[in-house]
Amino acid sequence: MELRQRVLELARAYRRAQAPLTPQRLAEGVGLRLVYSSLSEGRFGLVLAEKNLVLIDPQSPARRQRFTLAHEVMHLLIQQDEELLSALHEAHAGQGLERALEALCNLGAAEMLLPAEVVRMALAHQGPHPRLIPQLAEQHQVSEEVVVIALAEHAPQPIIALVAGGQPLRVYFSAQHPLIPQRLPRGAGFRRDDPLVVALETGLPQRATAHLPNHPQPYRVEAYPKGGRVYAVYTAPFCQKD
């Protein structure tokens, strides 16, 4: 069984069954009651399975809350799918299993909130341009993380999509196409002459060849600065056309 495909199908079926996807309906479809409650530092959501409750931090931004809620719902949907669970355990173990599970829950959550057909249509019109990240987030009222995950999944060629910000500039979140094995850790920094840093400092979009920490090969990168953040799409070299 192709795990990612199965997770996307689960998410799609859930979105249709629970439409319109209000926070309450999102939670109720898996038998959970939604409660807003402050959580410990760094946590945005928590499922208390024995009480059938899902807790969401009311202080996090509204779009972040929806993504967190959809992510927690995906945990339950995956847990209830025996075939998917056993395929997951066959493919991964230990820490790798946990990472794979979290990534699958993110993938399903993104699909619930931002359907693949919307993303594919935007990609067909504009190509995998980083401006799509703030644009689709605004148009569809989803967090930028959702768009990053969806772009990396549905782009026709292997890409890494990311949002960076802060001073000094660092990675807020990123996602990569399934064919790119190396991950880019949250919080990773950039050299002073990196195209993303140049984009932030000049306010001008950049196109260049760039290296990423732990990635052996260079990438083509497009960086798009907006509102104090830099959005970037890295294209893997083995599928470059120019």
Contacting Zn ion within 48-107 (CB under 5 A): 102, 105
Nearest to Zn ion of 107, 119 (CB atom): 107
Q: How far is the CB of 102 from Zn ion (least distance, A)?
A: 5
Q: How far is the CB of 67 from Zn ion (least distance, A)?
A: 11
Copy the structure tokens of residue 223.
Answer: 């960086």
Q: How far is the CB of 71 from Zn ion (least distance, A)?
A: 6
Nearest to Zn ion of 79, 157 (CB atom): 79
**Rounded distance between C-alpha atoms, residue 39 and residue 29, angstroms:** 23
Nearest to Zn ion of 100, 116 (CB atom): 100
Copy the structure tokens of residue 242.
Answer: 């120019």
Nearest to Zn ion of 47, 223 (CB atom): 47
Nearest to Zn ion of 105, 161 (CB atom): 105
Q: How many CA atoms lie within 13 A of 71 on its CB side?
A: 20
The size of the chain, in residues, is: 242
**Rounded distance between C-alpha atoms, residue 114 and residue 150, angstroms:** 8
State the DSSP code for 20. S
Contacting Zn ion within 96-135 (CB under 5 A): 102, 105
**E strand map for 147-196:** 159-165, 170-176
Site pattern 213..242 for Zn ion (x: CB under 5 A): ------------------------------
Q: How far is the CB of 151 from Zn ion (least distance, A)?
A: 21
Q: How far is the CB of 74 from Zn ion (least distance, A)?
A: 8
**Rounded distance between C-alpha atoms, residue 98 and residue 146, angstroms:** 20
Q: How far is the CB of 142 from Zn ion (least distance, A)?
A: 18
**Rounded distance between C-alpha atoms, residue 139 and residue 194, angstroms:** 30
Nearest to Zn ion of 78, 119 (CB atom): 78
**E strand map for 67-110:** none
Q: How far is the CB of 44 from Zn ion (least distance, A)?
A: 10
- Long-range own/partner contacts, residues 99-106 (CB < 8 A, 24 or more apart): 100/3, 101/75, 104/3, 104/4, 104/7, 104/74, 104/78, 105/71, 105/72, 105/74, 105/75, 105/78, 106/71, 106/74, 106/145, 106/149, 106/175
Nearest to Zn ion of 67, 234 (CB atom): 67
Give the interface with Zn ion as residue ranges (CB under 5 A): 102, 105
